Amino acid sequence: MITPPPHAQHPDVYVISLKSATARREGMERQAARLREAGYTGNVVFFEATDAARREHLAFPQYSPFWANVAGTPLTDGERACFASHYRLWKKCAEERPASGMVVLEDDAEILPEAFVETVEECVRAPWECVRIFVTNERPFRRIEGNFYTCEKGGNGTVGYFLRPSAAEKFLRASARWLRLADDFLDRYWEHGVAYVVRRPYPLRLLGLESAIDAADGATRGDAGRYRRHRAWWARPFRELFRLVERVKKMRGRRKLFRELFG
């Protein structure tokens, strides 16, 4: 936990979006206008996504097919590009160190303006390094205080989250190898050391659009059967050992998380 800066301003909002996704950008620009009308003073900025169709994800050597097979399932080109987009924003946050943090959104988010302003102000005042402001899977969340909750299993989704530089630095250190979806990586508090915190009710809704980044190679995140078929047979014994080590790490991380959140 950290001490929030006094009199912090609304943080800038970075919307991950492909430059070619003109319709989505126009929709987000309309949402940004409504957000300003609701009193939000931070900038809403388009952050150009890593484009798998243009093979931009190949510039990131952190992905290893070997280790991805050992950890579970290889990532598609679109999933690697999605991870790269978030990774680049973590790096920007860590390097620029905005006093009020930043908000990261994907361009399939629908912003509820008044609720968004209230939520972000609460996140800035709170001591948490990273707060998910939307998750795709409902879990048995446990209240920490006020509108903030936690959960041992996480809730998936990178549609929207509040981020401080300290959390960005931890994410960067823990992502020397890209083994999983960005969604799953953020949930893994025992791996990167950032407490899993969710703010509810959510100030966002999911528009239900297919990810333009993930769709670059024809994959969808829900295509679990496809992923299983692409697992290398030779990695099976390594996966079992890897899972055993992961279980031990998770047990230790869970104890640390709940000591931090509940004393």
Do 77 and 57 touch, CB atoms closer than 8 A?
A: yes
Query: The pTM is what?
Result: 0.86
Higher pLDDT, 157 or 91: 91
Q: Could you report the per-residue pLDDT of 11-66, keeping only the tens digit for each? A: 999 999 999 999 999 999 999 999 999 999 999 999 999 999 999 999 999 998 88
Return d(Cα 124, Cα 99) in angstroms, integer: 9
pLDDT score of 223? 47
Q: Could you report the per-residue pLDDT of 177-214, keeping only the tens digit for each? A: 998 899 999 999 988 999 999 999 999 999 865 555 55
Alpha carbon of residue 28 to chain centroid? 19
pLDDT score of 84? 97
Higher pLDDT, 85 or 218: 85
Length of the chain: 263
